[in-house]
A and B are shown apart, each in its own frame.
Chain A
Amino acid sequence: SQQGEEDPQALSIQEGENATMNCSYKTSINNLQWYRQNSGRGLVHLILIRSNEREKHSGRLRVTLDTSKKSSSLLITASRAADTASYFCAVNSGNTPLVFGKGTRLSVIA
């Protein structure tokens, strides 16, 4: 299966700390995407990183991609209570649909 696997399943940190979530996948990809899902809501696209990119930034988000290890990480710096959500990675292999992992539940405690 191409499914991304996030690690850890759950993460609890204090406000102001950094949060790091990891994603591993199994085969070659076109791109990898990260999404956020607040409780009771739909997923919101955060960032897309192409297979030929190694790092990407968006505000307090930093995503890295290591295609040799088939892994990606999402770093949220200076976390806020509003960052509390589930975070999903999704891999695109071109002619297949996005395949989502099971997510990391992040709790940011004020």
Chain B
Amino acid sequence: DTAVSQTPKYLVTQMGNDKSIKCEQNLGHDTMYWYKQDSKKFLKIMFSYNNKELIINETVPNRFSPKSPDKAHLNLHINSLELGDSAVYFCASSQVFLGAPYEQYFGPGTRLTVT
């Protein structure tokens, strides 16, 4: 059983388009995250949701909008895509948050290429 799944795995699109990435976890975790990994492998958190509520919103352009319809899903919508948005986007989930030790489970990633 896949713990954290993302679709699509690859996404190639043109500048200016709008696209979405979907994420689902079947671990029963309360907290989900979106990370961006650039070409140098640096992994940076973008958003965190706890029980469908936005907890963390790092310095991310407002073209990026996360949506959590329920605590098992966290989708990422990106408007007006730019070349600099090209990266691998990872979804992750964890059991606890804020002060309690937690390990994160990552999805396989979505490689976004903007041309």
Residues of chain A touching chain B, judged by Cβ–Cβ distance below 8 Å, are 30-31, 33, 35, 37, 40-45, 48, 50, 86, 88, 92, 94-95, 97-100, 102-103
Residues of chain B touching chain A, judged by Cβ–Cβ distance below 8 Å, are 4, 33, 40-45, 48, 56, 90, 92, 98-99, 101-109
| Distance in angstroms between the alpha carbons of A32 and B98 in the assembled complex | 14
**Inter-chain contact B101/A95, CB cutoff 8 Å:** no
Which chain B positions have C-beta within 8 A of A100? 42-44
**Binding site secondary structure of chain A:** strand
| Distance in angstroms between the alpha carbons of A60 and B32 in the assembled complex | 30
**Inter-chain contact B99/A30, CB cutoff 8 Å:** yes
**Nearest-neighbor residue (CB-CB) of A103 within chain B:** B41
Q: How far is the CB of A15 from chain B (nearest CB, A)?
A: 24
Which chain B positions have C-beta within 8 A of A94? 98-99
